[in-house]
Amino acid sequence: MERAGRTIAKLKTAHQHLTVEELIVAAWPAAVGKRLAGRTRVVAVREGRMVVEVEDEVWRRNLAALSPHILKNMAEMLETSAPSWIEFRVGIPRRPPQREQVAARVADESDGIADPGLRRIYINSRRKAQAS
């Protein structure tokens, strides 16, 4: 099965409806593969130059070494619309979605006891009574 990026690039009408930048962004996952596309993001495309954001310096160096192969894949898909140069930049780390904070402890009648020692005695005795 052919990937969407390859199919879009081969369509004759794609160049009429999509800009060169949109074609390059659509072809990126097909050129590098699903795994690398998940760890990278095309940030900008200008004048035959593509800027790709990566997670860290190690990814940047490794992908820079692979850029001739990536450019070849892009040229096979996009022909004249393919970028001639790729710049890899270390991106700003994104915060993952945060989970809503749930109350750590449900309030109960022992919260009304002001003395911490008496509160502990009450909780322990209640626990023993519920166990038996």
Non-local CB neighbours of 91 within 8 Å, separated by 6+ positions: 41, 43, 53, 54, 55
Q: What is the pLDDT of residues 50-105, one digit of tens each?
A: 999 998 899 999 999 999 999 999 998 888 888 999 999 998 877 777 776 655 55
Q: What is the DSSP string of 32-54?
A: H-HHHHHHEEEEEEETTEEEEEE
Average pLDDT over residues 17-46: 88
Q: Give pLDDT, residue 1.
A: 43
63 closest CA partner among 78, 77, 73, 76? 73
Domain with CATH 3.30.300.180 in the chain: 4-90
Look up the CATH superfamily of 4-90.
Answer: DnaA, N-terminal domain (3.30.300.180)
Q: Report residue 107's pLDDT band, with 50, 70 and 90 as the boundaries.
A: low
pLDDT average, residue stretch 42-54: 91
Cβ–Cβ under 8 Å, residues 83 and 45: yes
CA–CA dist 25, 23 (Å, integer): 6
Token pair 């409806």 is found at 17
